[in-house]
Chains A and B, each alone.
Chain A
Amino acid sequence: MRWQRAVFSNVGFLKMSGSGLWPWLCAACVALSLLMLAALLTLLTIRGLGHFWPAPLEEVTLKSGDIVIGQPVRETTLPKGAGSERLYFTGNQDITGSNWQWITIDDISQQAEPADLIRLTRTPWGDFIGRLMTVESGDQRLTEQAAWTFIHDALALPVKQRPPGTLVLATADGQILRQPLASVTYFQSPNAMSWGQKTIAWGQRIWQFLSEGPRAANTGGGVWPAIFGTVLMVILMSVIVTPFGVLAAIYLNEIAHQNRLTRLVRIGVRNLAGVPSIVYGVFGLGVFVYGVGGSIDSWFFSDELPSPTFGTGGLLWASLTLALLTLPVVIVATEEGLARIPDAQREGAVALGATRLEMLTRVVLPMATPAMLTGMILAVARAAGEVAPLMLVGVAKLAPQMPVDGEFPYLHLERKFMHLGYHLFDTAFHGEDVQAAIPLVFATALLLVLIVLVLNLTAIFLRHYLRRQRGNEC
């Protein structure tokens, strides 16, 4: 501590009566970084997870006599003192033509949260908000509690096992809608729910988001295919890039003569890490998709031509492109790990009669494993977040089939796939219903961050385990 004070007080500028300003400046930079990170994560978490919380529904009576039922979303103040407006999510797109309605606050004469308001999700047409009148099942006509129990039990079953039934629904202005039970995916009455029920419903909605496919042009439903595509692509990428990068690093550090050419190659590799990712996308499209893929098509899949099999973007080409993109990262990290191993270890092995290969495989590589994993962690972190090159080499807005299924050969490398990053972009900018997309964008972004975190943590724990096994740092 004393030396710090001595050093800092000797720095002429940034000196503040006795104690230096220097440490504070450094600490402020750290604090600012942490603050921004915390703000990012908080925003994503609140906006992303909040979307799934069962929001209360309001029944609003306007001065004109109209009744509107919906979920209040946000308020904005109108310019020039014209009061403020509130946006309601009203659902019922099939009846009113729009899911959303702006209401001027001054027009509201009465506002209430009746417990009998319901919200249900249907395919097609999305959400319905209104009241449940009766449930018709065969000859039965159920009302009140019996109707709730019936719906609750029926929705717990898969679509094909549900008893036949029709929900008779009423909108805010009294229109009757008959909704077959088979088309309903989700049913809730948020105003009547307790906190416990809301929490359970919240968990269910999050699970649906994670486990289902997208609906309504990616503005509804879940993101499971995108999660699967992202993780599969990253794993394939790691499997391709790690051996390549490690072997290249071994050559550069252990085998090649350390002369000017080696240094030049090393500088080149390091600079490749800085090439914009879209450039790799263009390269992947030209070389992998059209070049290699086109050739594979003309040799092995000529029956299918002119419709391409491998000659179009797909999982394999996307993985290869990203492997190329992250190759420098793996090489540099591995090389640094190899350079840190003391020569005494190599000489020790050689002096015991090990050949060069035995020295590499039994002493050097095990010691460099943590560094290799570090390279892989960096590669995964970079690859999971890349979107630009993927748009050129195989990502799809909506992939009709998953890249892995029960059909031989089970892993379909030529298929297009969905990716969370691209899904985010598509939901945010290409959806029809922008208002509905906003919370999904936050939720997807949070999910993408979490997936990168999980992939990284896995590798970090693996590295930690390997170090622990060795009993020391290296």
Chain B
Amino acid sequence: MLASLSSNKAALAPVTHFPAEQRCLSIAKFHLAYAGKMALRDLTLDLPRHRVTAFIGPSGCGKSTLLRAINRLHDLNESVTHSGHIQLEGQDIHAPDMNVTELRRRVGMVFQTPNPFPMSIYENVAFGLRLQQRLPKRKRDDIIEWALTSAALWDEVKDRLHRSAWQLSGGQQQRLVIARTLAVQPDVLLLDEPASALDPISTLKIEELIRNLKSQLTLVLVTHNMQQAARVSDYTAFLQHGELVEYGPTDQLFTNPRLQRTENYITGRIT
């Protein structure tokens, strides 16, 4: 009786652990509060290396908050408090000896609205490089070409690298922002609803890009679009009210969710 109950419970519990050698990010008992108001509650999950993990959930469920916590962007806001651990490749990102700027280089972030800087396309991609070290111009040019090629933008902008980045279309701007992030060769790329402000064709290009990039790095995607999560991600985590509800391989979560709450959400019965 007792054994069957515990086995039943194990079956219901979300898959949150991967073997150590597959783990890229490891979140353990992580809590976060804005000015005392709890936003994330006791999150524990591992994100596998070179895979796309999607965070889904209703608005205000904390998925963007979690994404920003991985980049330590909450450092800018002093009313944010947190407890628990986030480890990147086994290193605690909140450890005192962790260099925040180095962490942010290793964990790139792309935001909902494209935010290219008011400078040329070239300078946008070179921005992160210039922050780090002085590179010879030819080396820098090579990296910029590589980054723009990886972001599937090179062919479109190679003739106007020194024009303003603000003249690009929204989809191109978003790919430019991805290229800018790739240029500093991060281990992880966080994408916060990267296609929500774009038209369907640009969205498809971004999705294709995400699938192609996972051979190079680990991607974490926050999205409101269920189909998008199903199309591009390998694993999906469903968050609600700041808690992790269900986490597992995307196919399994969408076709055969273990919990009623998850099924209700992905079939659109609750918002």
Contacts and interface: CB of A to CB of B under 8 A. Distances in A.
Contacts of A346: 76
Nearest to B129: A352
B105 A353 contact: yes
Interface in B20-40: none
Contacts of A471: 118, 163-167
B253 interface: no
Contact of B118 (A351, A353, A366): A366
Contacts of B132: 353
Interface stretch (A355-363, A386-394, A455-463): A355-363
Given A351-B104, A469-B164, A472-B118, 17 more contacts: A342-B115, A347-B109, A347-B111, A348-B177, A351-B108, A352-B104, A352-B128, A352-B181, A353-B131, A353-B184, A354-B101, A355-B101, A366-B119, A367-B118, A470-B118, A470-B119, A472-B164
For chain B, the bracket of interface size reads 20 to 34
A470 B166 contact: yes
29 contacts: A344-B111, A345-B115, A345-B117, A347-B73, A347-B76, A348-B177, A349-B117, A350-B73, A350-B76, A350-B104, A351-B109, A352-B104, A352-B105, A352-B127, A352-B128, A352-B184, A353-B104, A353-B105, A353-B131, A353-B132, A354-B127, A354-B131, A362-B117, A366-B119, A469-B164, A470-B118, A470-B166, A471-B163, A471-B167
A349 B111 CA distance: 11
A170 B119 CA distance: 74
A354 B164 CA distance: 21
B71 A351 contact: yes
B199 interface: no
A257 interface: yes
A290 B113 CA distance: 56
A474 interface: yes
Contacts of A367: 118
Contacts of B117: 345, 348-349, 362-363
A256 to B, nearest CB: 12
Contacts of B78: 257
The 6 closest A-B pairs by CB, nearest first: A471-B164, A351-B109, A344-B115, A353-B105, A472-B166, A352-B128
Nearest to A369: B118
Nearest to B79: A257
A354 B108 CA distance: 12
B142 interface: no
Interface in B60-75: 71, 73
A350 B118 CA distance: 15
Contacts of B115: 342, 344-345, 347-348
Interface in B117-133: 117-119, 127-128, 131-132
A469 B162 CA distance: 11
Nearest to A358: B131
A474 B165 CA distance: 13
Nearest to A346: B76
A362 B119 CA distance: 10
Contacts of A469: 164
Interface in A311-358: 342, 344-355, 358
A472 B111 contact: no
B164 A470 contact: yes
Given A353-B131, A354-B131, A474 B118 contact: yes
Contacts of A363: 117-118
B97 interface: no
Nearest to A362: B127
Contacts of A352: 104-105, 108, 127-128, 131, 180-181, 184
Contacts of B105: 352-353
Contacts of B155: none
For chain A, the bracket of interface size reads 20 to 34
* Most B-side CB within 10 Å, residue of A345, A346, A352, A469: A352
B102 interface: yes
Nearest to B177: A348
Nearest to B190: A351
A122 to B, nearest CB: 61
A340 B157 CA distance: 29
Contact of B101 (A344, A347, A353): A353
Nearest to B167: A471
A299 B197 CA distance: 66
A358 B100 CA distance: 14
* Most A-side CB within 10 Å, residue of B117, B165, B180, B184: B117
Nearest to B104: A353
Contacts of A366: 118-119
Contacts of B127: 349, 352, 354, 362
Nearest to B107: A351
A353 B102 contact: yes
A342 B166 CA distance: 14
A353 B76 contact: no
A356 B64 CA distance: 22
A354 B104 CA distance: 8
Contacts of A472: 118, 164, 166-167
Contacts of A354: 101, 127, 131
* Most B-side CB within 10 Å, residue of A345, A367, A471: A471
Contact of A344 (B76, B113, B131): B113
A351 to B, nearest CB: 4
Contacts of B167: 471-472
A231 B127 CA distance: 39
Contacts of B113: 342, 344
Contacts of A345: 115, 117
A345 B117 CA distance: 7
A275 B117 CA distance: 39
Contacts of B102: 353
A65 to B, nearest CB: 82
A14 B217 CA distance: 67
B123 to A, nearest CB: 10
Contacts of B184: 352-353
